[in-house]
């Protein structure tokens, strides 16, 4: 039997949420035993935080943020002199909270705010449950060490107790949702729960799942309403989407990542703001990555169609997509004419070779320093078979460039325009990170953009042996 974890506890540790309802409502926070004089309120948007207001301690000892009704519903962070921290949910509601600096969470006393009452009651119970589960898991380890039997009957009994604790957590959240259907706190708490396969199978007997991994791949987001804009003012979408990428984008591949993207974007299509957030999150994730075909999928199938209809310029990403597609295996590589340290010019197209390896690197790049010895070894290993290798430095300092050549005893063709990141090569070859490697055939057709040393060897063996 699988032990379900309280994921919310792990994600929102010491997070406080506060909601506000009414005109000219304020947020009062009084912390006994805290001697700082300033509190800063931050908005939360995924992994981004922005300071939006500052409160100074009043004569009553309280920190007061006024007119919080103007803020959109969601989770906000408060930092007290950078030494104490909590999260609050604001939802057009007067908020009055008292606590003790020695134990902020356990002492939290919500005098006003139904939202926060729901939330902090949950927290106090969840922390007690967490402590109990930690102890029970310790008991399981002791039994396993003693019996060498992970299926021991006593372990099964303890696992059942743990599952009961977790089920009680879920039931509390669901009960609050029924009791307060117009409040955000239960919605927020439920969004952090991992969907339960057993519950799903009971409700959908004709669509039963036997494999929990398959179930979660298809139902991971069941507890999140992508049409609810309030989640934009939380970490919910950011956390859940990134978890899904890491779990179901694995093993890392274009096919798996595209599946993740299509799954999420299909759910986000009903709300423009949520759609834009999800699209932006994916582009931020994959634009700097080596998975260029995933980025092309995002741009061509989502970004350009959506923003063209919205009247927003798509020139930058349209150009980026075209650059990537122009550099796909099977396409002819762009040419370059660059000089070596002695001033001798080399024309890529006019340099004859049965195969060509181009290594774009930077002299101040540690990843490059780690990879160069193996790449230089490959260049020498296949040279006699007809491989011509170029080391193209994305540098702007001639002395550093030459020093790097001597340091690694580079015997390949070392060239650079010494324009650093301003070099036209960066755009021409869509270089997002270094080292960046291209393998060409004798006609300068791109055969591979290898990501591992084994990819280089296997491709060169085929090219140099006419396989």
Whether the Cβ atoms of residue 353 and residue 417 lie closer than 8 Å to each other: no
Phi, psi of 219 (to 5 degrees): -125, 20
Residue 218 has pLDDT above 60, yes or no: yes
Token pair listed for 172: 């509390």
For the beta carbon of residue 252, count every other beta carbon within 10 angstroms: 14
pLDDT in tens, 204-213: 999 999 999 9
Residue 466 confidence (pLDDT): 73
Q: How many Å apart are CA 354 and CA 356, to the nearest integer? A: 7
Q: Which residue has the tokens 């001798």?
A: 344
Spatial separation of the C-alpha atoms in residues 259 and 453, rounded to whole Å:
27
The single-letter DSSP state of residue 55 is: E
For 423-443, the DSSP string reads SHHHHHTT--SSSEEEEEETT
Q: According to the model, what pLDDT value does residue 6 have?
A: 43
Please name each of the domains of the chain with its CATH number. 1-193 (no CATH), 206-326 (no CATH), 337-464 (3.40.30.10)
With a cut of 80, say whether residue 15 has pLDDT above it.
Answer: no
Q: Which residues have CB under 8 Å from 342's CB, separation 6+? A: none
Is the pLDDT assigned to residue 464 strictly greater than 80? yes
Q: From the CA atom positions of the chain, what is the Rg in Å?
A: 29
pLDDT at 17: 38
pLDDT digits (tens, 9 = 90+) for 142-154: 999 999 998 999 9
Please give the average per-residue pLDDT across 263-268, as a whole number.
Answer: 98
**Within a 10 A sphere around the Cβ of 319, how many other Cβ atoms?**
12
For residues 4 and 196, the answer to whether their CB atoms sit within 8 Å is yes
Q: Is 136 exposed, middle or buried (0-12, 13-18, 19+ CB in 10 A)?
A: middle
Asked if pLDDT for residue 8 goes beyond 60, the answer is no
pLDDT of residue 16: 39
Alpha helices for 59-183 (secondary structure H): 114-147, 153-179
pLDDT digits (tens, 9 = 90+) for 369-401: 999 999 999 999 999 999 999 999 999 999 999
* pLDDT > 50? residue 5: no
SS3 per residue for 314-336: CHHHHHHHHHHHHCCCCCECCCC
Is residue 243 within 8 Å of 200, Cβ to Cβ? no
Higher pLDDT, 167 or 347: 347
pLDDT at 23: 57
pLDDT at 467: 57
CB 139 within 8 A of CB 158: yes
Residue 20 has pLDDT above 60, yes or no: no
Q: Round to whole Å and give the CA distance between 119 and 186.
A: 8
Please compute the mean of the pLDDT values over residues 254-276 and round it to a whole number: 97
Average pLDDT, the chain: 92
User: How many CB atoms are located within 10 Å of the residue 166 CB?
Assistant: 20
Lowest-pLDDT range of 136-140, 275-279, 329-333, 446-450: 136-140
pLDDT over threshold 80, residue 200: yes
If you average pLDDT over residues 309-329, what whole number do you get?
Answer: 93
- How far, in whole angstroms, is CA 342 from its chain's centroid? 45
Nearest CA to 438 among 362, 329, 337?
329
The two three-digit tokens of residue 215, written as one number: 């179930």
What is the per-residue pLDDT for 167? 87
Order of strands across the sheet with 27-32? 62-65, 27-32, 95-100, 109-112
- Please indicate whether residue 131 or residue 410 has the higher confidence score (pLDDT): 410
Share of the chain above pLDDT 90, in %: 85
Q: To the nearest 10°, the Cα dihedral for 131, 132, 135, 141?
A: -120
Residue with token string 């792990």: 10
pTM for this model (two decimals): 0.82
Write b or e for each residue in 108-125: b if 16 or more Cβ atoms lie within 10 A of its Cβ, otherwise e: bebebbbbbbbbbebbee
- Most confident residue range from 205-209, 342-346, 462-466: 342-346
């Amino acid at each position: 039997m699988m032990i379900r974890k309280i994921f919310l506890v792990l994600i929102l540790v010491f997070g406080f949420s506060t909601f506000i309802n009414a005109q000219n409502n304020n947020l009062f926070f009084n912390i006994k035993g805290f001697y700082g004089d300033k509190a800063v309120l931050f908005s939360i948007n995924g992994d981004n935080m922005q300071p939006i207001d500052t409160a100074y301690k009043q004569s009553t000892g309280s920190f007061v943020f006024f007119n919080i009704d103007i803020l959109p519903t969601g989770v906000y962070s408060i930092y007290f002199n950078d030494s104490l921290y909590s999260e609050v949910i604001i939802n057009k509601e007067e908020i009055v909270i008292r606590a003790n600096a020695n134990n902020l969470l356990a002492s939290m006393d919500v005098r006003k705010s139904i939202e926060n009452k729901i939330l902090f009651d949950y927290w106090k119970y969840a922390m007690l449950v967490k402590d109990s589960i930690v102890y029970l898991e310790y008991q399981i380890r002791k039994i396993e060490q003693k019996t060498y039997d992970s299926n021991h009957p006593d372990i099964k009994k303890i696992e059942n107790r743990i599952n009961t604790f977790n089920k009680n957590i879920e039931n509390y959240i669901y009960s609050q949702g029924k009791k307060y259907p117009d409040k955000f706190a239960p919605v927020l708490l439920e969004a952090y729960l991992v969907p339960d396969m057993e519950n799903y199978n009971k409700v959908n007997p004709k669509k039963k799942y036997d494999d929990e991994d398959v179930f979660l791949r298809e139902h991971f987001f069941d507890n999140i309403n992508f049409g609810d804009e309030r989640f934009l003012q939380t970490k919910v979408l950011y956390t859940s989407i990134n978890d899904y990428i890491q779990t179901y984008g694995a093993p890392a591949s274009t096919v798996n990542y595209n599946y993740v993207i299509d799954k999420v974007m299909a759910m986000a299509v009903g709300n423009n703001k949520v759609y834009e957030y999800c699209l932006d999150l994916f582009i931020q994730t994959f634009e700097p990555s080596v998975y260029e075909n995933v980025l092309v999928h995002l741009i061509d199938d989502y970004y350009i169609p959506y923003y063209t209809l919205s009247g927003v310029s798509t020139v930058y990403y349209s150009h980026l997509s075209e650059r990537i597609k122009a550099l796909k295996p099977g396409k002819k590589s762009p040419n370059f004419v660059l000089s070596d340290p002695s001033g001798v010019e080399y024309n890529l197209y006019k340099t004859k070779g049965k195969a060509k390896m181009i290594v774009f690197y930077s002299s101040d790049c540690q990843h490059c320093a780690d990879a160069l010895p193996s790449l230089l070894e490959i260049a020498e290993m296949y040279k006699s078979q007809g491989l011509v290798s170029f080391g193209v430095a994305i540098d702007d300092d001639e002395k550093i460039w030459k020093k790097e050549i001597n340091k690694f005893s580079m015997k390949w063709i070392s060239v650079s325009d010494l324009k650093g990141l301003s070099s036209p090569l960066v755009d021409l070859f869509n270089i997002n990170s270094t080292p960046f490697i291209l393998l060409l055939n004798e006609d300068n057709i791109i055969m591979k953009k290898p990501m591992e040393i084994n990819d280089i060897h296997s491709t060169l063996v085929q090219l140099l042996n006419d396989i």
